[in-house]
Amino acid sequence: MRSALRSPVLAFLVCLSITSGGFGSAYNARPKLVVIVVIDQFRGDYLERYRDQWGEGGFRLFLDHGANFSDCNYDYANTRTAPGHATLLTGTYSNGHGIMANEWWDPEKKRRVSSVEDEATKLVGISSPGPGASPHNLLADTLGDELKLATQGKSRVFGVALKDRAAILPAGFAGDGAYWIDQKTGTWITSTYYRPGLPKWAQDFNDSKRVEKYLNQDWKDNDGKVLRSTKPVDGRAGSFYELVGATPFANDYEFEFAKELITYEKLGNGPATDLLVVSLSANDILGHKVGPDSPEMQAMALAMDRQLANFFEFLGHQMGLANVWIALSADHGVAPVPAVAAKLRLPAASISVDKMRTQVNSALSSRFARTAEYVREIDYPLAWLNSDSFAAAKVKEEDGERAVGEALKQAGMRGYYTRSQLERGDAPNTETGLKYLHSYSPLGGWYVLGVPVPYTVGVSSGTDHASPYTYDTHVPLAFYGLPFQPGTYRSHAEPVDLAATLASLLGINAPSHAIGRVLTEALPASRRVSNSPRGSEREERSMPSVEGRGFQQGAVRDFSVGNNFPASSLAAAVPKRDLPVAEGSR
């Protein structure tokens, strides 16, 4: 073997097959780091809506120098935060990963439980009597888990978000750490699932009182108009999450923490590819209050553009952007505020969930001739049932759920799917039917998924998401990095494709339940050495049809050079224009 490798021809062939057979190699730290930026509540249309206003190096890194999939939609109905984050990293939907809601009714505990709370663990970083958190409810593994498996733990995997579920689910089972904040104080915390105490750098971060920098501040637009204040109202101590969380300051705070993590955990310095998932929560916290069409959301998006540019510049300085792949997506979109849509004569409305629950319970009480609380909670448009009430009325699950579904229709829903029906895989062979099959999870008790009327939301003020409609399912999906051919791709894409694509490019197994496809149209023509008599003849697929300023001969040529260079030369091979560094700021 040793002498064989000394043969220059064989060595050349081996080298060629390594560099061209796979676009990266997690085993050899190519790239050094994969960063996945998930924006909590960011609709797919925003990238175009504000395109003219984006600066250099933020979103335009993806639009001008990356592969941007402009038609990416979740193919399920339960467009919530926990399912979205689980979907992106497991590459499957709720029927594969089990997370179908942020919280659900636990019939044994007889209370609502969150998707990540775990009584076998404790929170770390604050003293709390409550349970800690972990990914224990996931029924599928993640991209990070596969990286860890493939490299025997050499890859390091982290998740960061203001929300626990958005940090924990992406980090998977084998993640080295997930960090989120204590909502009241803004302190960064984790769980004993990962480690018994905070690492020194995280403790130092908390001790530096950076929280105070963001409290009692005015967030102003470009004209100096105050959009929002982080002053506690009327002297009442508000929570950091509510006050700072709904401003761009929250993203600054998250990026500061993420940079410390990258620096002190030495991400991108190891023998294998590392993975960091940063979920930016502020967009969602503000978006629920003011809706997608408000000037505040526009200002938030423009601030985020600059914050992303700053973060990518940091990555460039730390390890060279040629050594990083970056993916961008979101966990769900959002509906317009009903009043805004109604002004344009769309049939939009706010549904009173309390009224709906009362109506359903009274309909069932008469139907079963027994007064009870049959529906425990409505997380519009999803209803959690109280199986004890049905048992007392001697009603089986299937009949009970159907009765609730019919009552929900009477109360204004367009239709419904029951838990027992979805468990059997019994849904019409339609696009909508498939979306609901993908929304099924065996976790939680009895439930009914109501099909909402488009543009209706179950909140009394602001707006919401959790429907199967495009305003909730359409999200960005974009990639930046050496393997990706720049351009706008209008082919069908889904968030489940992210994990499948990255796993393939890294040369590792896709997550256990992944159903996504590899987005080959964004990858350059394959070059490989075949075993045929024609030997090293270059095989190329036909060029994909793409649009976009970035897709020029030059871009392709630059890429090809970078891809076929040995890893040590990658940085040198990358054209300078790909570095999102503002003029003079290097």
DSSP 452: P
Closest separation between CB of residue 58 and Zn ion, Å?
21
Tell which residue, 322, 315, 300, has the closest CA to residue 258: 315
Closest separation between CB of residue 31 and Zn ion, Å?
27
Residue 38 or 411 with smaller CB distance to Zn ion: 38
What would the 3-class secondary structure string for 194-231 be? CCCCCCHHHHHHHHCCHHHHHCCCEEECCCCCEEEECC
Residue 254 or 274 with smaller CB distance to Zn ion: 254
Residue 40 in contact with Zn ion, rule: CB under 5 A: yes
Beta bridge partners of 450: 416
The distance of Cα 367 from the centroid of its chain, to the nearest Å, equals: 42
Residue 81 in contact with Zn ion, rule: CB under 5 A: yes
Closest separation between CB of residue 378 and Zn ion, Å?
19
Cα–Cα dist 430/432, whole Å: 5
Closest separation between CB of residue 270 and Zn ion, Å?
31
Residue 462 — φ and ψ, nearest 5°? 70, -145
DSSP 545: P
Residue 280 or 523 with smaller CB distance to Zn ion: 280
Closest separation between CB of residue 40 and Zn ion, Å?
4
Tell which residue, 501, 497, 506, has the closest CA to residue 475: 497
Residue 353, C-beta contacts closer than 8 angstroms, at least 6 positions apart: 378, 380, 458, 459
Closest separation between CB of residue 41 and Zn ion, Å?
5
**C-alpha radius of gyration, the chain, whole number:** 25
Residue 543, C-beta contacts closer than 8 angstroms, at least 6 positions apart: 525
The answer to whether 180 touches 162, Cβ cutoff 8 Å, is: yes
Residue 246 or 523 with smaller CB distance to Zn ion: 246
Residue 40 or 252 with smaller CB distance to Zn ion: 40
**Site stretch for Zn ion (CB under 5 A), options 101-109, 118-126, 284-292, 399-407:** 284-292
Residue 146 or 464 with smaller CB distance to Zn ion: 464
Residue 331 or 494 with smaller CB distance to Zn ion: 331
Closest separation between CB of residue 39 and Zn ion, Å?
9
Residue 119, C-beta contacts closer than 8 angstroms, at least 6 positions apart: 131
Cα–Cα dist 181/200, whole Å: 16
Cα–Cα dist 526/538, whole Å: 9
DSSP 269: -
Cα–Cα dist 205/207, whole Å: 5
Tokens of 391: 């048992």
3-state secondary structure (DSSP) of residue 77: coil
Residue 65 or 80 with smaller CB distance to Zn ion: 80
**Site stretch for Zn ion (CB under 5 A), options 217-225, 329-337, 453-461, 563-571:** 329-337
**Site stretch for Zn ion (CB under 5 A), options 107-115, 331-339, 500-508, 527-535:** 331-339
Residue 81 or 485 with smaller CB distance to Zn ion: 81
Residue 65 or 165 with smaller CB distance to Zn ion: 165
Binding residues among 112-131 for Zn ion as defined by CB under 5 A: none
Single residue of 331, 521, 558, 578 touching Zn ion by CB under 5 A: 331
Q: Percentage helix, strand, coil, to 5, in the chain?
A: 40, 15, 45
**Site stretch for Zn ion (CB under 5 A), options 68-76, 315-323, 327-335, 402-410:** 327-335
Residue 40 or 164 with smaller CB distance to Zn ion: 40
Other Cβ atoms closer than 10 A to 550? 24
**Site stretch for Zn ion (CB under 5 A), options 36-44, 170-178, 222-230, 383-391:** 36-44
The answer to whether 495 touches 513, Cβ cutoff 8 Å, is: no
Burial of 475 (0-12, 13-18, 19+ CB in 10 A): buried
Cα–Cα dist 399/368, whole Å: 11
Closest separation between CB of residue 125 and Zn ion, Å?
23
Other Cβ atoms closer than 10 A to 24? 23
Single residue of 64, 141, 252, 284 touching Zn ion by CB under 5 A: 284
The residue at minimum Cβ distance from Zn ion is 81
Residue 329 in contact with Zn ion, rule: CB under 5 A: no
Residue 60 or 97 with smaller CB distance to Zn ion: 97
Q: Under rule CB under 5 A, how many of the chain's residues touch Zn ion?
A: 4
**Site stretch for Zn ion (CB under 5 A), options 106-114, 324-332, 411-419, 509-517:** 324-332
**Site stretch for Zn ion (CB under 5 A), options 209-217, 276-284, 385-393, 474-482:** 276-284
Sign of CA dihedral 507, 513, 518, 519: negative
Residue 103 in contact with Zn ion, rule: CB under 5 A: no
**Site stretch for Zn ion (CB under 5 A), options 149-157, 244-252, 282-290, 531-539:** 282-290
Residue 379 in contact with Zn ion, rule: CB under 5 A: no
Residues of this chain that interact with Zn ion (CB under 5 A) are: 40, 81, 284, 331
